[in-house]
Amino acid sequence: MNPEYRDLLIQCSYLAASVLFIFSLKWMNSPLTARRGVFSGVFAMLIGVGGTLLNPSVAVSQLPWIALAIMVGALIGVPLSLVPLTAVPQRTALSHAFGGLAAGLVGTAKYYLWIHEGGEMLTGFRTFAISAEVILGFLTFTGSLMATGKLQEILPGRPITYRGQLIVNFLTLGGAIACAVALVINPQWTFLFPILVILSLAFGVMLIVPIGGADMPTVIALLNSYAGLSAVAMGFVLDNKLLIIAGALDGSSGLILSIIMCKAMNRSFSNVLFGAFGTVSASAGSDAGGAVKSASPSEAAEIMEQADTVVIVPGYGMAVAQAQHRVRELYDQLTKRGINVKFAIHPVAGRMPGHMNVLLAEADIPYDDLIEMEEINPEMPQVDVVLVLGANDVVNPAAKNNPGSPIHGMPIIEADKARTVLAVKRSMKPGFAGIDNDLYTLDKTLMVFGDAKAVVGDMAKTLAGDSGMH
């Protein structure tokens, strides 16, 4: 192929892939177009890989190695894609780990390749880009592995802290940056490069261990941003425009998502990154101290049957139990009776933004009945029954009423304002933040203990039996 035409084809493929990546992010904003967004992203990646394979630097002799790498990636990626929806946050963190590792290894390989070739290619800017790529890539790698471990409960979810921790963290990061500056000044100081790599890997671990499990979804979004920035640096190192554009999109979207989640949790970046959320005792979140009252699924169903309005608050317990289809059955039985049923969606219910929306969409719940927190809260005093399905921290009144609570100030769904509260939980075990929930001890609250799938199924059966008798 004519070199000019080949270069034009490569640049056009990168441009097309970049446009498709932008549309992918746009379409992912709505459940109605999310599937289109996924296919757009996949197609963009295929075009980008195809354009890269046309690059004259890719020799025919390298194609078997590239094919082998693709096969290995597929063998790892396909099983990872089959995890349950409840495991998506840790699977996402693991993907970030692989992305960070790839960026770090590419930067390392390029540095030693150019050193071997005499070092003329290691200009100040390229050395700066390599250093940024290595720091961001390797800290993303180890940080994401730590986040995966905490979410998968392989590692303790509680914050791990020690005296002088912040100073040690800053010294570690400062040491890595100092090595990077020295390498920019003189790339031939090769003894500094392994130190840069080790400090970056260590900082990734040290960055995550003091962060509690409740903040981990926000941390994952931030690590996504770091992975994107490392891809931008890699794009400058490899002179690849697509990597620069895609990395910038990834980095900015991760940052925006982190900001959204921090606002939803009333948390600041400094709190999330350097705080120790969850270190309070389990009793710190509760002032109520009242007795817990319980009801059977059939009794709860009879209470809902007498209501005019029912608001369902889905949470992680519903996701773990995979109860969304039973929720649909309950929804159908209630709406048959002319009862107005809505779903109150907290932005960080579950483990990631949109977690509940995806589960309910899977069960074909009408999207118009999914109401965001800001819209449903003013209606709560007029709601007859609130059914809380495995949600915990996002409905805890301590966020409003207890200044000593670690979640104080976090916006919540104000289930406590409804006339009657039915809370479905396996036990009285605290939620992700590790604190008790004042909602469960209110006089208006009845606990319905058990697996959400079984409990909601029994509620739906009770209502179906009643309708059959009439």
Which residues are the active-site residues?
A: 393
Per DSSP, the residues of 90-144 read HHHHHHHHHHHHHHHHHHHHHHHHHHHTTSTT--HHHHHHHHHHHHHHHHHHHHH
For 128-250, strand residue ranges (E) read none
- 280 Cβ contact list (under 8 Å, min separation 6): 405, 406, 434, 435
H or E stretch covering 389? strand 385-389
Name the helix (H) or strand (E) containing 81: helix 63-81
Euclidean distance between CA atoms 235 and 246, whole angstroms? 9
Backbone angles phi, psi at 389, to 5 degrees: -105, 85
Q: Identify the bridge partners of residue 388 per DSSP, sorted by sequence position.
A: 313, 423
Instruction: Starting at the earlier edge strand, list the strands of the sheet with 385-389.
Output: 370-372, 340-345, 309-314, 385-389, 420-425, 445-449
Output Rg (C-alpha) for the chain, integer angstroms.
Answer: 26
Interior CA angle at 238 toward 235 and 240, to 5°?
Answer: 55
Distance CA 259, CA 221 (A): 9
How far is the C-alpha of 204 from the C-alpha of 183, rounded, in Å?
21
452 contact partners, CB below 8 Å, separation of at least 6? 317, 318, 320, 321, 323, 326, 389, 390, 424
Using CA atoms, how far residue 196 sits from 103, 177, 396, 438, in Å, is 14, 8, 44, 48
Strand partners, 371: 344
Which residue in 276, 279, 273 sits closest to 220, CA to CA?
A: 273
Question: What type of residue sits at position 132?
Answer: A
